[in-house]
Structure 1
Amino acid sequence: MILNLNHIYKDYNQDKLVVPVLKDVGLQVEEGEYVAIMGPSGSGKTTLMNIIGCLDRPTSGTYELNDADVLHLKDKELSKVRLNSIGFVFQNFQLMPRESALDNVCLPLIYAGIKKKERREMAMNALERVGLADRATFKPTQLSGGQKQRVAIARAMVNNPKILLADEPTGALDSKSGHAIMELFQKLNEEGVTIVMITHDINVARQAKRILHIIDGEISENGKVQEKEEDA
């Protein structure tokens, strides 16, 4: 099992009041799975994603990532986990606007201390993997939305992370570009990449092998076939 969360609670303090966001959440993901997490605004899905991505800590509970107890790691150790074990794909791409596609993909490798020649080779391989080798010298302003997201996916995958976290990866794209990005995720998953994706779009969620629903900080699971029947 690559990801194992048990009895996760997350509270925020607001004007001396304790506001519960996540309530006894459990989530287990096997290596090679493709999981979609759906929920309305304010349901806690972004908070859950931040905890999975080691960007936030729960109030209580346990979290093991690749058999490591991440909740007892110090901040510097968590940074290494994020760098080496987790790839992030965001709705709005978060690319450096003045850098080329190749240099954007190189960024995690710089932090990892990879030498320039090797990291450029690795970054070019990642761009080839997402079908953008011919756009390596283009800056984000010269790319379409779908191409920007492909660059972001290449950047997320360049370090060969254990898990890919995608937060509304098609949210800023038109339907055609969104469909192409979902085909890319499908291809990556078939190659063995573990994917956990947040989405509000049922048609996007149906591309995953397993759909979870989070409502008012609590998580439930419905199989893909059941989801289709309910939505028919």
Structure 2
Amino acid sequence: MILNLQNIYKDYQQDKLVVPVLKDVCLTVEEGEYVAIMGPSGSGKTTLMNIIGCLDKPTSGTYELAGEDVLKLKDKQLSDLRLRSIGFVFQSFHLMPRETAVENVSLPLSYAGVKKKERRERAIKALERVGLGDRVDFRPTQLSGGQKQRVAIARAMVNNPKILLADEPTGALDSKSGEQIMELFQKLNEEGVTIVMITHDPHIASNAKRMVKIIDGEIFEGDEKEDAS
């Protein structure tokens, strides 16, 4: 088991009011799975993604990622765990505008202390893996939206993370580019990459092999609460 969340609660304080966002969430993901977490705006899916991505901590509950007790780790240890174990793909790409594709993909390797020559070699291989071997020295302004997202996916994969965590990965793309990104995710999953994808779109979620729904901060699998989505 690569990811194990048990009895996760997350509350936020607004003035004197406690606002519950996640309510007794239990979620496990096995190595090699492709899971979509689907829910409408305000359902708690972004909060859940931030907890899975070690960007936020729950109010209570337990979380193990790749065998490590996440909630016992200090900030530096959490940063190291994120760098080693999680590749992030965001809706808005988050590319450095003045850097080339290969320089953008190299960034996580730089943080990991990999030498410059090896960084470039590994970044080029990652770009070839997502079909951009001929765009390594292009800057984001020279790339289409779909190509930018491929660069972001290459950057997420360059450290060989345990999980690819994607937040609305097709949200900023036209339908054709979105389908191409879903085909790429399918290919990566077939190669053994574990993918957890957050989306509000049932069509995009249907590309995953397993669908989990989050509604009002609670998790439902399969046909549970079918009519509530």
TM-score of the superposition, structure 2-length normalised?
0.97
Rounded to whole Å, the distance in 1 between the matches of 2:42 and 2:179 is 26
Matched, 1:69 2:69: yes
Report what 1:192 is aligned to: 192
Rounded to whole Å, the distance in 1 between the matches of 2:186 and 2:80 is 27
SS at match of 2:134: helix
Instruction: Look up the equivalent residue of 2:83 and give its one-letter code.
Output: L
Instruction: Look up the equivalent residue of 1:113 and give its one-letter code.
Output: G
Report what 1:55 is aligned to: 55
Rounded to whole Å, the distance in 2 between the matches of 1:52 and 1:201 is 20
Report what 2:22 is aligned to: 22
Instruction: Look up the equivalent residue of 1:109 and give its one-letter code.
Output: L
Rounded to whole Å, the distance in 2 between the matches of 1:140 and 1:16 is 45
Report what 1:175 is aligned to: 175
Matched, 1:160 2:160: yes
Instruction: Look up the equivalent residue of 2:40 and give its one-letter code.
Output: P
Rounded to whole Å, the distance in 2 between the matches of 1:222 and 1:45 is 17
Instruction: Look up the equivalent residue of 2:3 and give its one-letter code.
Output: L
1:216-231 alignment, distance < 5 Å: 216-222=216-222
Q: CA deviation at 1:21?
A: 0.3
Report what 2:212 is aligned to: 212
Rounded to whole Å, the distance in 2 between the matches of 1:197 and 1:71 is 22
Q: CA deviation at 1:222?
A: 1.4
Rounded to whole Å, the distance in 1 between the matches of 2:65 and 2:35 is 16
Report what 1:135 is aligned to: 135
Rounded to whole Å, the distance in 1 between the matches of 2:113 and 2:120 is 12
Q: CA deviation at 1:15?
A: 1.0
- Note the aligned Cα RMSD (angstroms): 1.2
Report what 1:99 is aligned to: 99
Q: CA deviation at 1:16?
A: 1.1
Which ranges of 4 or more aligned residues in structure 1 deviate by more than 6 Å? none
Report what 2:123 is aligned to: 123
How many residue pairs are counted as aligned between the two chains? 226
Report what 2:79 is aligned to: 79
Rounded to whole Å, the distance in 2 between the matches of 1:111 and 1:67 is 23
Rounded to whole Å, the distance in 2 between the matches of 1:201 and 1:59 is 28
Rounded to whole Å, the distance in 2 between the matches of 1:222 and 1:47 is 22
Q: CA deviation at 1:201?
A: 1.0
1:4-19 alignment, distance < 5 Å: 4-19=4-19
Cα deviation digits, residues 183-212 of structure 1 (max 9, x gap): 000000000000000111111101101001
Rounded to whole Å, the distance in 1 between the matches of 2:203 and 2:42 is 21
SS at match of 2:107: helix
Q: CA deviation at 1:128?
A: 0.3
TM-score of the superposition, structure 1-length normalised?
0.96
Rounded to whole Å, the distance in 1 between the matches of 2:218 and 2:87 is 25
SS at match of 2:185: helix
Rounded to whole Å, the distance in 2 between the matches of 1:16 and 1:134 is 56
Structure 1 gaps of 5+ residues are none
Q: CA deviation at 1:18?
A: 0.4
Rounded to whole Å, the distance in 2 between the matches of 1:210 and 1:134 is 34
